[in-house]
Every structure is written in structure tokens, then in C-alpha cells.
Structure 1
Amino acid sequence: MESAAPNTERFYYGWVIVALAMMMHGLTTGGTNALYGVFALPLSEAFDLSRAAVLGATASVAMISSGLLSPFAGLWLSRYSPKKIILLGCLMLSGGYFAMTLVTTWWQMSIVYAVSWSMGNVLFGALAANTSVSNWFEAERGKALGIASIGMSFGSFSFPPIITWIIVNHGWRSAYAVLGCITLAAVPFILRWYRDRPDNADGTPQVRPPGGNHWKEILGSRDFWVIGLCISICFAGFNGVTINIIPMAVDRGFTPTSAAWLLSVAAAFGVVGKIVIGMSADKLGPRKALMIPLGLLVIACLLLRGNTPYWQMMVAAAFVGLSSGGAIPVWGALIGSYFGQQKFSQVMGMMNPLLVPLIVACAPFISWVKESTGSYNPALMAIIGFIAAAFALIPLLRPLKANN
């Protein structure tokens, strides 16, 4: 396994890994999650399917497959060279894009998303990127994870308009081909600049026993379940509110254009949350920092109750962005602090499936409540109730240090 120079150099090489992780976040979030809706209409027309059926064959299949694959991917990243795993994931994701240019039936499309797309996204996406950063940082882990995750925001900003333009002017198959080329272009950067775990993280010597299968130990840990439940509640809450905030604004009489600006505000403040709240995880300890994104989401839900004016919805969108941005580095900081770098990838991989049910259910639940009752308020209060449960769980996390 490769090693890096200790942190006695003027420039710590871990920040190069952060830059590469930012690239990985941007390519996977921008090229996959941000584009499900972009491809829904052209694929529905091409295969004579409803948009719901297309999203089921792509987004739902990809999410379920990724959740099933994540525990194994986490084990591989802890046991083998992360560089080789990441290169394999990059090639598989790129291959999935190119395979989409050849599909002629909906079931072929579904297989591509279930295999190449999902495996590539897991081995090259957030799990691999967060593991890479955590391997190189100890004292500044939250800050480093927050900066790396800015790539998610950049990818979500840049990919949809570019890919939409290509689809309109050259067709959806050309768009997939371009995505394949862009992803493949990351290979030389990984080959040249990526290094595996250092001998020193933040200048602290690391004692690394051989990688192994820690599934029983992890599943038997109360901290694993508490972190997983708290993070799933947080992720589901801001994901559900984000998806429904545009319909919510339109229902209250605002134009679609004005409503779209709410997402822009949320995305912009998400960048701030990634950095500021990520740094707070280093200063306050991740257990206390976990309360910040949860608390911000409560404020957002309270602001969205009732027939709120537009400026109030803008403020709420800012709080949603801060919460969603901050939760990502806090999650990584929690896993790193409670389970250590050696188990980081395996724990995050095993925790991913716990996030899927609530995240998948929250957005349609909010819509169903609105259709059933004529108001979003009951759904928003239900989210606050879940967050209250998360706050009640936090004291169950064992204290690690005085500042945790």
C-alpha cells in the first residue's frame, strides 16, 4: 500500500486528496442523482413509458441496488487499496454511461442502472470520496469532509443545464456518451495524484491493523444504530422538504420561476453549511455538531407552516440548505470519531441501507398529506416530531472526549 510523506511538509498532501474527492462528488452527484429528472422525459418518449415507470426503472432501481452494494463496497475499501477500488468504480460508471447509448428496451436500461451505474456510483461516489478524506484527516476531518462535499453542489449546479442542452440539440444517447467521456477523463487524475492511506493523518501517527470484516462488531454497537437513525431522520427531512418546496410555493400563489429560486438559495447555503458546520464538528465534537443540522431543519419547518410570504420561504430555504450541507460532513465526522479510520468505509457502507427507507418515503409522504388534508402543516409537524426523537437519541451516544 502506498504511503505519503508525514505532515512535516509545508503543504499537507491530504488536501490533494480533498480536491480529488471533490471531483468524485461532483461527477457522481452531478452525473447521476441530479440527472434522473433530466432524462425522465426523453427516456419515457423513447421507450413509450410513463415518467413514473422510467424513474422506477432508473432512480428507484439505482437507489435500491446502491443500498444493497454499499456494505460490500465499504468492506472492499477497508480491506484493499482504495485507489484500485476507485479506479474500478470510475470505469464501471463510465461504462454504464456508454452502455446506455446502446440500450433498445426498458429492461436493458434497468439492468445498466442496477449493475454498472450503481456499482460505479458506490465505488467512485460519496462512500469512496468520504473514505478517502477520512483516511487522511483526523483533527480537521469535519472541515476536510465539508470542503470535499462542495463538489456535490457544483455537480448539481453545472450538469443539469449542460446535459439538458445536449439532449435538446443532439439527443439523449449523445448526452450519455458525453457523460461517459467526462467520467473517463477522471482516470488520469486518479492514477497520477491519488494516494492510499498515509502513515500520518494530520501529523498523527496511525496504527493500522490489517483490514478485516467487522460486521458483527459494528452491528452490535449502539453508536452505529443511534448515528444511523439520527442521520436518516435528518437526510429524509431535508430531502423531503427540498423536493416539495417548489410545489409548496406554487400552491401558495408564487410563480414557478420564483419558486425555482428557492432551490437556488438552498443550494447556495448548502455550500456554506458544508464548510461552517463541518468545521464546527472539529471544534465542538461531532455529537454536539449533530444538533446543528437537526435544529436548523426544525426552524425551516416552522417557517414553512401556514400561508407564509415569499421572503419567509426564502429564509426557510436558506435553513434547509444549511441543514443539508452541514449534515454531510457531520455524518462523516461521527463515523470517524466513533469507529476510527480503519472501519470508516465499512461503517458508512453498512449505514447507507438504513438511510434508504425514510429518504424514499418522506417526499411522497409530504405530498400525500397535502393531497389528503389540503395543508402541508401536518407533514411538517411530523418531521419536527421525528427530529425531536433524534434529539432524544443523541445522549445515547457514548462520550469520547471532553469536547464531544
Structure 2
Amino acid sequence: MLSLIRRYPYLLGFCILSAAASGPGQTYFISLIIPLLRADLELSRTAVAALYSIGTVLSACMVPLLGKALDRQPLRLVSGTAVLGVVAGLVTLGASTGASTLLAAFVLLRFFGQSGQSLQATTTAARHFSKQRGKALGITSIGWPLAEMALPFIIALLIKSLGWRYSLFAFAAIYGLTILASTQSLLMLTPTEAGSQRAVKQNKATRSWTVAEVFQDWRAYLFLATTFAPPFMLTGIFFHQGTLASLKGWSSAAIPTGFFAFGLCRGLSSLAVGPIIDRLTAKALFGFQLIPSLAASLILAYGNHPLTAVAAFGLFGLTIGLGGPIRGALWAEVYGVENLGAINGFGAAWAVFSTAISPFIFGVALDGGISWEGLMLSQFALAATCLVLGRIGSRAATPAAVQPASS
């Protein structure tokens, strides 16, 4: 793995930085601002949650367009646009005066941040590395836990010094200058044959599937079902973390400690799974990444000790850490890389959609009298079902070198 970093330091550095740059669009970052914003704008929890869900759904609808742009446009242009989009979202969030501006901020941050930066990170790594794709995706995945551990600390310090509005303006300036300059410089330093989207050509014996052909493949829908479960489960828990802590009787330190365990396990598992993917293929591993989430659901259902949060969040970190590289490599293995951005985009859109509906469904269930234990057991059933579906799809999948069946 170190040899791969030494050989492609700039390209892999870009992928790691892009993954980390998705932070301002992630739920863990935005949730730090929401309590202060809600009090200032005098909006109810339901109103803010609804706007957040609507913004996330709208961003999910646009993600396939971003994936297509990654297949057609220069990477420097797509990357620069994503950075500026996040900056615009941060400024709009800081300047929010009501529901309309808040919705616009959520759309910008979720689309350019959560979706845009993440999609370009995984697509670039999967596209440019074939023999060591698993390692490249594992290295790329370091960016997410790094941001999860650093950004809450940074924004908390800024809020303490400047207040929530000016802290967002200051963070937007810091983010725009550092991320834009760094990503553009890394791409300029990357050799042309590795850095150009159009330079990636597969062996003549390998045929990439078109998006239309993928939609005609029944196995793709099983892959999407498996992709749906982890973000749905985790976003619901993260969004309702206050309810979880209250029901379990945990102190204020329990959840942050759990987040640390989540980030640590996510980062370590992402690095560990890369070489395994290269040795066994993502096709052989797909679906099994949900096993830790099964155990985590049972722990959160029946465990009440504060260390329950550490164990459960750590296990969820394993699922996310293993799932990212496996999922990213699977699309390339099965469907090829020429249209990987568009194909990856539809998968990402489905995952983003799951994060949009999860907080609402969790809230309705809890308000409707379903116990936390019942909710976690439902999650267990969902994860188990998706694991089986994922294994069925991956066992039936053929490598990209095999021509897709004509309809």
C-alpha cells in the first residue's frame, strides 16, 4: 500500500482530500449548526427536519448529472465547481433568514458536498486503478474519518469565538482557499495519463456497460438494495442521537465517544479491506460488509451501558469502512470504467435518498409508539435482508470483460 502511495502521491492525495472535503455536506457537520440556527430562526424541529429531507432528496435527483459530468468533463473543472458549490452552500447557510434560504443551503451542501466530493473521490480512484483498485479505494476512504474527527472540533472553536453565522462565513473562506488551491495543484502535478478522465481506456477485450444496459440488469437492483441499508440505518441513528442517549440514560460524553470509535473503525477497516479486495475481488466480498451492522443493531436494541455506544458505533464504522471500497470496486469490476461516473452516480443518488427519508421514518416510528428496541430489531431485519440480496446479486454477476446480454 505504501508503494502505491509513493508511486501516485498526487492522484491519491486528491482522492483523500476530496473525500475529506465532503464533510460540510455531511449530517454530522450540519447537525452541529442546526440547534443554533433553529433557535435563531425560530423554526420547529419538524420544519428543519422536513427542509433537510427535501434538500437531500433534491440533491439526490441531481447526482446522476454529476456522475455523467465526471465521465465527460475534465476532472479539474468538476472538482473546482464542487468546491465553489460547497462554499456557496456555507455562505447561504450562514446568511439564512427563513425556510427558503435554508432549503437552498441544504441543497447546495448536500449536492456539492456530501454527493459531489464523495462521488468524485471514489470514481477517480476506481477509474484510474485496476490491479490495485481495492487499495486505492481503501486509501481514498481515509479522508472521511479524518474529516469526521477534525471538522467538528474546528467548527466548534469558530462558533465559540465568532457565533454560528460568522463561523460559517469564516469556514467558507478557509475551505474555499485551502481545498480549491490544494485539489487543483494536486491535479496539475498528476501526470496527464493518470489525471485526465478521457485518458482512461480499458483493454479492448473489456467492454464497459452503458447506463441503459445497467438499468436492464436485475442484479444492479440487488446491489442498490444492499447500498441502501447502511446510510439509512446510520443517518436515522445519528439524527436521533439525542433521543437514543435520553432513552438509554447516557451522559453527554457517550455519543461523542461513540463517534470517535466510529471514525477510528471506519478508517482502519477501509485500509485493511483494500488488499483483500485486490486478492479476492469485490464481487466475492459484497454483502458481507453488513455483518457488523447486524451486531450493532442488537447491541443498540438491548444494551444500556454507556460503552454500548462505543461498541455499536464502532461496528457501524466497520460496515461503512468496509462497504465504501467494496461497493466502489464492485461497480468497476462488473460494469467497467468508461461510464463509471454515471453508474456510480445512480448508486450514490440511491444512498443519498436513503439518508433523506431515514430521519423522517425514524421520527414517525418513535412518535407512533414503537420502542427503540423494536426500531433496532427492524434495522436488523433490514440489514439481514439486504445482505442476502447482495450475495445473490454478486454471485450471479459476471465480470466487465463479459459482454452484457443484448435485449
Fold match (TM-score > 0.5):
yes
Report deviation, 1:69. 0.9
CA distance in 2, matches of 1:69, 1:77: 13
**What residue in structure 1 maps to residue 7 of structure 2?**
12
Alignment of 1:4-403 (within 5 A): 11-13=6-8, 15-30=9-24, 32-57=26-51, 59-114=52-107, 116-121=108-113, 124-185=116-177, 186-194=179-187, 195=190, 198=194, 206-207=202-203, 214-244=210-240, 247-366=243-362, 368-369=364-365, 372=368, 375-393=371-389, 394-397=391-394, 398-400=396-398
Q: Secondary structure at the match of 1:342?
A: coil
| Counterpart residue identity of residue 172, structure 1 | W
CA distance in 2, matches of 1:87, 1:208: 32
Retained in 2: the 8 A contact 1:269–1:318?
A: yes
| TM-score relative to the length of structure 2 | 0.83
Q: Secondary structure at the match of 1:41?
A: helix
With over 3 angstroms needed to count, the CA separation of the structure-2 counterparts of 1:357 and 1:92, relative to structure 1, is: closer
Residues paired across the two proteins, number: 388
With over 3 angstroms needed to count, the CA separation of the structure-2 counterparts of 1:73 and 1:213, relative to structure 1, is: farther
Report deviation, 1:347. 0.7
With over 3 angstroms needed to count, the CA separation of the structure-2 counterparts of 1:303 and 1:9, relative to structure 1, is: closer
With over 3 angstroms needed to count, the CA separation of the structure-2 counterparts of 1:179 and 1:65, relative to structure 1, is: farther
356-365 vs 226-235, which moves further: 356-365
Q: Deviations 1:35-63 (Å, cap 9, x if unpaired)?
A: 22122123223322224423433x32431
27-36 vs 368-377, which moves further: 368-377
Report deviation, 1:197. 5.9
With over 3 angstroms needed to count, the CA separation of the structure-2 counterparts of 1:230 and 1:23, relative to structure 1, is: same
Q: Deviations 1:111-162 (Å, cap 9, x if unpaired)?
A: 3433x43453267410111111112211222222122122111112211232
CA distance in 1, matches of 2:76, 2:166: 29
CA distance in 1, matches of 2:106, 2:115: 14
With over 3 angstroms needed to count, the CA separation of the structure-2 counterparts of 1:298 and 1:79, relative to structure 1, is: same
Retained in 1: the 8 A contact 2:90–2:168?
A: yes
List gaps (5 residues or longer) in structure 1.
1-7
With over 3 angstroms needed to count, the CA separation of the structure-2 counterparts of 1:169 and 1:16, relative to structure 1, is: same
CA distance in 2, matches of 1:253, 1:176: 33
Q: Deviations 1:74-112 (Å, cap 9, x if unpaired)?
A: 111101212211112212222333344544443233234
| Counterpart residue identity of residue 99, structure 2 | W
Q: Deviations 1:347-400 (Å, cap 9, x if unpaired)?
A: 111122322444334455455555555633322222222223223322233344
Report deviation, 1:264. 1.9
Q: Deviations 1:285-305 (Å, cap 9, x if unpaired)?
A: 212322332111112223333
Q: Deviations 1:166-199 (Å, cap 9, x if unpaired)?
A: 2232122322222222222222223322146639
| Counterpart residue identity of residue 74, structure 2 | S
Report deviation, 1:229. 0.8
Superposed CA RMSD in Å reads: 3.3
